[in-house]
């Protein structure tokens, strides 16, 4: 995403700012009472990461469920972003500083690129016996076709301050908007990369060690096994989750409530089939090449 297409508005009232400022204190007190402790240094640091419109809020709900089965204070309210609320791209140092500032005992999340600095900070682990200590990292990604459809609906109908909102609404219909989402745009002050370029950052995380990469589709269609694998990833650090699996799994399932997300639209997989016509398919293949095959979503280009 370029500068304009990444703009996020800031319309917070003073009351909301006050509530946000005192939220960590209240959440910490709740955690202290729930877990009957003052220190939250035992469980390993956790960071949940994603590309926009790829399942970040589903992951966020699961991470909030983690605070009910492991001693964490809370999940950070604000994600770590590479774009500021006024549309400026942050420097690498600003992003890294934001990651470093996440307090111990607090679960962080965001939309962070796999720069050498970020990857080094997030994935560094040390081996102790049969376990490795360090941060637990989750990165969620999604079928690019579903991601594009979600992005178009979100920018057009759900988020008036999105950088593409006005332009998408200036186009005659959804078909034209999806064309632009596939190819990207760079003119008249608008810049949005193509679908192929968007997923370059996904592959960078897929290549990283000590990052559990999750498919959005697996969390929907193979939910229980994927959630249990996420808990196993925590225990690879040598930490023992205090809540037994038979109790932890229902808690995490209960935490997953897509309709409570302000970005929720359909929450299903394969919805792209209802929106991609023959022209969209051809354009996607021309622009993205073997992207779907490399990601494992298709065996060839015969879809």
Q: Would you state the structure tokens that stand for residue 285, as one six-digit string?
A: 């293949």
Residues 6+ apart with CB under 8 A from 198: 51, 144, 147
| This prediction's pTM | 0.88
Q: What length is written for the chain?
A: 303
List domains and CATH numbers for the chain: 44-143+199-252 (3.40.50.300), 144-195+264-295 (no CATH)
Residue 275: CA count within 13 A, CB half-sphere = 23
Q: Would you state the structure tokens that stand for residue 85, as one six-digit string?
A: 């609320």
Q: Would you state the structure tokens that stand for residue 52, as one six-digit string?
A: 């926009």
Q: What is the pLDDT of residues 193-220, one digit of tens each?
A: 999 999 999 999 999 999 999 999 999 9
pLDDT recorded at residue 114:
95
Mean pLDDT in residue range 264-281:
86
Alpha helices in the chain (DSSP H): 14-35, 56-66, 92-100, 116-123, 144-153, 165-170, 174-183, 195-198, 200-206, 216-221, 223-235, 245-255, 278-288, 291-295
pLDDT recorded at residue 233:
97
pLDDT recorded at residue 189:
81
**Would you say 196 and 209 are in contact if contact means Cβ atoms under 8 Å apart?**
no
Label residue 6 by pLDDT band (50, 70, 90): very low
Residue 73 burial (10 A CB sphere; 0-12, 13-18, 19+): buried
Mean pLDDT in residue range 75-81:
95
Q: What is the pLDDT of residues 16-64, one digit of tens each?
A: 777 777 888 999 999 999 999 999 999 999 999 999 889 999 999 999 9
- CA separation, residue 7 to residues 2, 89, 162 (Å): 9, 10, 6
- Three-state DSSP class for residue 266: coil
**Would you say residue 8 has pLDDT above 60?**
no
C-alpha 163/C-alpha 223 separation (Å) is 33
Alpha helices in 44-141 (DSSP H): 56-66, 92-100, 116-123
Mean pLDDT in residue range 275-279:
97
C-alpha 176/C-alpha 26 separation (Å) is 47
Q: Tell me how many degrees the CA angle 218-224-229 measures, rounded to the nearest 5.
A: 75
């Amino acid at each position: 995403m370029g500068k304009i297409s990444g703009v996020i508005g800031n319309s917070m009232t003073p009351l909301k700012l006050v509530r946000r400022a005192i939220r960590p204190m209240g959440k910490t007190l709740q955690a202290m009472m729930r877990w009957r402790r003052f220190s939250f240094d035992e469980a390993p640091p956790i960071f949940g990461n994603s590309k926009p419109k790829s399942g970040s809020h589903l992951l966020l709900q699961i991470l909030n469920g983690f605070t009910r089965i492991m001693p964490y204070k809370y999940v950070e309210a604000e994600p770590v972003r590479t774009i500021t609320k006024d549309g400026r791209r942050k420097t690498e140092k600003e992003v890294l500083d934001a990651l470093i500032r996440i307090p111990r005992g607090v679960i962080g999340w965001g939309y962070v690129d796999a720069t050498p600095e970020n990857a080094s900070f997030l994935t560094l682990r040390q081996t102790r016996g049969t376990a490795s200590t360090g941060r637990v990292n989750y990165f969620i990604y999604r079928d690019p076709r579903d991601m594009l459809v979600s992005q178009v609906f979100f920018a057009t109908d759900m988020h008036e301050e999105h950088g593409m909102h006005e332009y998408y609404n200036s186009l005659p219909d959804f078909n034209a908007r999806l064309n632009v989402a596939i190819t990207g745009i760079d003119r008249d002050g608008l810049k949005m990369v193509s679908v192929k370029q968007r997923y370059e950052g996904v592959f960078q995380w897929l290549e990283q060690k000590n990052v559990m990469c999750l498919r959005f589709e697996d969390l929907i269609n193979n939910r229980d096994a994927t959630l249990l694998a996420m808990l196993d990833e925590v225990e690879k650090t040598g930490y023992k989750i205090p809540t037994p699996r038979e109790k932890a799994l229902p808690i995490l399932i209960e935490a997953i409530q897509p309709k409570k997300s302000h970005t929720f639209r359909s929450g299903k997989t394969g919805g792209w089939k209802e929106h991609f016509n023959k022209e969209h398919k051809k354009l996607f293949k021309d622009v993205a090449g073997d992207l779907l095959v490399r990601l494992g979503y298709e065996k060839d280009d015969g879809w």
